[in-house]
Amino acid sequence: MHRLFQIGLVSFSAALAAMPLHAQTDSAPPSLSAKTGLFEMKPGVIAMAPIPDADQTAIVEVGGLETELSTGKHANATACLATAIYFEARGESLKGQRAVGEVILARTRQAGRPKSVCGVVYEGSHRRTGCQFSFTCDGIADVVRSHAAWARAKRAAALVMSSPSKKKVARGATHYHATSVRPYWASSLRKVARIGSHIFYR
């Protein structure tokens, strides 16, 4: 039986829980063209790590975060960041997840890039081959299948958002890719770290 999970947020300290979630239904997944706004990689470049403790039944569906959250810009940014961390690095350690979050935050400070976290995460998502994170334009509903992995992603996002000036584990990286691939742009950037199954560049 599908259930609707709605998690309220009253302050930034609860920002990790600021995800209005919808129960999965038999209807078609929401249009990805509604998402706005990330990165210089083509879809599929970053491999999605498996969820060790996931069951085969979808727990919640995360969609339309940018337009559905109304609890403030910071909570909205944390929600988008947690979503990206979950779908891009949910099998990584806390350090690895923080590194992915730091890359997204670093992108908001780059010229010519969206200035908001949500804008960076969903940049180009309305184009099948123009998105920067494959989960935003692969046509597959963004379904969270593990409460534990989702909680870890939210924790990592909160740490990144609450300590922007803290020593960076990603060493100022603005790009990353999975160790299993070698994107065309890797040779033009400087490798600064390898954390878990990702290599980071700037």
Predicted confidence (pLDDT) at residue 72 exceeds the cutoff of 50: yes
Distance of CA 183 to the CA centre of its chain: 20
Strand partners, 195: 198
pLDDT-based confidence at residue 70 (cuts at 50, 70, 90): very low
Lowest average pLDDT, out of 28-32, 73-77, 137-141, 188-192, goes to: 28-32
Helix (H), strand (E) at residue 193:
strand 191-195
Predicted confidence (pLDDT) at residue 52 exceeds the cutoff of 70: no
pLDDT for 180 equals 95
Q: Rounded to whole angstroms, how far apart are CA atoms 133 and 5?
A: 25
> pLDDT for 119-143, tens place per residue?
999 998 877 667 888 888 888 888 9
> pLDDT for 90-114, tens place per residue?
999 999 999 999 999 999 999 999 9
Contact 72, 176 (CB under 8 A): no
Q: Rounded to whole angstroms, how far apart are CA atoms 145 and 27?
A: 18
Q: Compute the average pLDDT of residues 4-11.
A: 36
pTM: 0.65
Average pLDDT of the chain, as a whole number: 72
